[in-house]
Chains A and B, each alone.
Chain A
């Protein structure tokens, strides 16, 4: 038994013997650092713990260790900390305060753009070629290329980066242009304030007086009828005067529930581009670019390991890198592949377990079809297809048996379920749109 295992076993016993409050207060960050013959050294985080162990818990610790270790212990020494003595003296530099950074998100002109988001820092790969090219075109000829530009895709894939880069690029080439970046929430709030405060004129001036309007996460407009109408009029006013609109959403406009038809048709007017998860090469490129930005050297093996482990979210990718860099700087230990494996394993969220019911619910919401219809007898195409996706998900995500799947979906035969699963598997490989939809459903299933 290693000293670490021994201490863990002892903690296990002590945890039961003590109250939870006492245990977490006193035994957090303790370790057994030495266990030789009858001498034991326990490292404690501070002198308060040391004093308390000596006075109060000495007997209990001694008894427990003797019992688990199976040999008599003569002395236990409690040592405070212990790792500080050989750490190198950290350097400190004082850099001038850079003005834009201290401005935060909202800059002085109040256009809501974060100057950090520019095209030059956006890594282009297979998954985002189209939206990137479209965004560039819009930035080059605002109001003329694609109007509106609608970008959709999953969480942390760079939608906000792209939409803000459009604004920053236009501003860079023509600082007189009036650009406004808002989230859908801000737009809604502004509208509500305008209605409540009776200053609709000001709301109109703000939103209709701009050259470029960028709205992030437009899907949140769903269900807000008043806001949809306000947005509809704003949209028309801007579009008619050839002012550029760029919108982002986490799903295709058709998949936004409770969206008015006149808005939907307007969203589809210009260009709809989707961002999908970056492929392996792009993920590596992103990591390398981030390393360069931070002026941090990271081993090639480590980079490709991280890129293999984190697949669906650029933000997580960056987070993992930040964690490694921070750890290195704080503890002064260069990261090894072993260490990173451990770190990523501990930070990987445990996948939420989902139930049949949740799958049904999520798909029903996604396609905006009531559950009863999905479970009903009708074999209309608009019902059959989502039904097949449910069957596919039940099979792939929940490992349900074919007869069980059939039963779950209104008592259908198991061969129906088998057909559905093989059909969706085949089609998803050929049709990226379907693949993306399934990804989105899964994302909502596990994150929702």
Chain B
């Protein structure tokens, strides 16, 4: 193996794959990065046997070959090198790295023992805009928490239905759903539950790919999910099982509806949050249709109390509902636009947050029962 490229190119590739390589695991080779030179460049691979990431680095190939080196050591070292040409040469069981006046030999392991990253077989898919996918994942991700008792909701549901891609997540206290447009054909249909860890990595990968490509290809099969652009391929296993029928719990009728400034509500919630009870995080939200006002108030016997009144367009039956302010704020921040719509009924029913002009995203949060 003999390969030359710029330090920047190599750093970019390594920054993407090195996080996938697991540090603690049974199999030592999983903490390594796999390097392979082909006719088109250097291929980097890393996997933790749940997620696999393959990334091509542009450069000049003089001799094909393959090898693995410790991910952390290699990526940290390459990042320290000057912005110059980097030469990688395999010599026995060591990888020689030459860059300017720096010369290093890194000990590694033979490539034959590095696991295969499986290809998705019999999958359905479509093209999707990368920034839109990243936004959708971020708008849903925060509602998901690791849940050993209910593995099926410790990931996001991704549904491909014709030309629509829907991402949904819940932790049974809140729920978010975002719809996207894909280039899938009318016939394409697939469902997958993507694990939380894979979602987090996927957001990161989307972030670093944004400058390289505008769209990405998504493929889903019964047990795998893949996202690819010409230079990078991300593969993840799926959570086995059926995602619960969450549509059944989305309420259709509400007792009260308020249109309110998103920025004002966010800062009022943060202020009230400072005076919420430790461990309960409760703030009381009062809807007042007569005065067209929404009041956000909190009380903590140790630190003090707070109330702010916000102007709003309120219709329906006035009511007062307690919320976990963090849960409510998460939704307010995930929404887009200047104003948002809050629809609620009482402290036993779900409250829904939507955008004023947009129907592709909603967030549902459960109140705190007094």
Q: CB within 8 Å of B: which residues of A?
A: 21-22, 24-25, 46-52, 55, 80-81, 83-84, 87-99, 102-104, 106, 108-109, 326, 329-330
Contacts and interface: CB of A to CB of B under 8 A. Distances in A.
Interface in B6-47: 25-28, 47
Interface stretch (B57-65, B113-121, B196-204, B311-319): B113-121
A104 B280 CA distance: 9
A51 B350 CA distance: 44
A103 B49 contact: no
Interface residues of B, number: 52
B137 to A, nearest CB: 21
A104 B150 CA distance: 21
Contacts of A330: 149-151
Contact of A99 (B175, B241, B366, B369): B369
29 contacts: A21-B26, A25-B26, A48-B49, A48-B115, A48-B237, A51-B115, A51-B117, A84-B242, A88-B242, A89-B244, A89-B245, A91-B244, A91-B245, A91-B248, A92-B170, A92-B246, A93-B172, A94-B173, A94-B175, A95-B172, A96-B347, A97-B173, A97-B367, A97-B368, A99-B370, A103-B280, A108-B278, A108-B280, A330-B150
A108 B282 CA distance: 12
B223 A46 contact: yes
Contacts of A52: 115-116
A22 B27 contact: yes
A25 B244 contact: no
Contacts of A95: 172, 366
Contacts of A24: 26
B52 A48 contact: yes
B240 interface: yes
Contacts of A84: 240-242
Contact of A94 (B50, B277, B350): B350
A109 B279 CA distance: 12
A87 B173 CA distance: 24
B86 interface: no
Contacts of B27: 21-22, 25
B117 A48 contact: yes
Interface string B233-256: 000010011111110110000000
Contact of B301 (A46, A81, A90, A108): A108
Contacts of B278: 108
B280 to A, nearest CB: 5
A98 B277 contact: no
6 shortest interchain CB distances as A-B pairs = A92-B244, A51-B118, A47-B118, A96-B369, A51-B116, A84-B240
Interface of B: 25-28, 47, 49-50, 52, 115-118, 149-153, 170, 172-173, 175, 222-224, 237, 240-246, 248-249, 277-282, 301, 322, 324, 347-348, 350, 364, 366-370
Counting chain B CB atoms within 10 Å of each CB, the highest count among A46, A83, A90, A92 belongs to A92
Contacts of A93: 172, 249
B244 A47 contact: no
A109 B151 CA distance: 35
Given A24-B26, A92-B170, A108-B278, A81 B223 contact: yes
A97 B244 contact: no
A104 B152 contact: no
B279 A108 contact: yes
Contacts of A89: 242-245
A87 B47 CA distance: 29
Contacts of B244: 89-92
Contacts of A108: 277-280, 301
Counting chain B CB atoms within 10 Å of each CB, the highest count among A25, A47, A81, A99 belongs to A47
A4 B348 CA distance: 50
A418 to B, nearest CB: 54
Contacts of A83: 240
B47 A48 contact: yes
B176 to A, nearest CB: 12
B368 to A, nearest CB: 5
A143 B141 CA distance: 54
Nearest to A91: B244
Contacts of A92: 153, 170, 172, 244-246, 249
B173 A104 contact: no
A81 B171 CA distance: 25
Nearest to B48: A48
B226 to A, nearest CB: 11
A81 B50 CA distance: 14
Given A47-B224, A108-B280, A25 B118 contact: no
Contacts of A81: 223, 240
Nearest to A24: B26
Contacts of A102: 279-281, 324, 368
Contacts of A326: 149
A88 B348 CA distance: 28
Contacts of B366: 94-97
A188 to B, nearest CB: 24
B343 to A, nearest CB: 15
A91 B241 CA distance: 12
A199 to B, nearest CB: 18
Nearest to B47: A48
Nearest to A89: B242
A441 B277 CA distance: 45
A47 B172 contact: no
A98 B369 contact: yes
B275 to A, nearest CB: 13
Nearest to B251: A94
B294 to A, nearest CB: 20
B249 A94 contact: yes
Contact of B368 (A22, A96, A104): A96
A80 B277 contact: no
B326 to A, nearest CB: 11
A332 to B, nearest CB: 10
Nearest to B25: A25
Nearest to A48: B49
Contacts of B153: 92
A22 B26 CA distance: 8
Contact of B279 (A21, A47, A104): A104
B224 A103 contact: no
B368 A50 contact: no
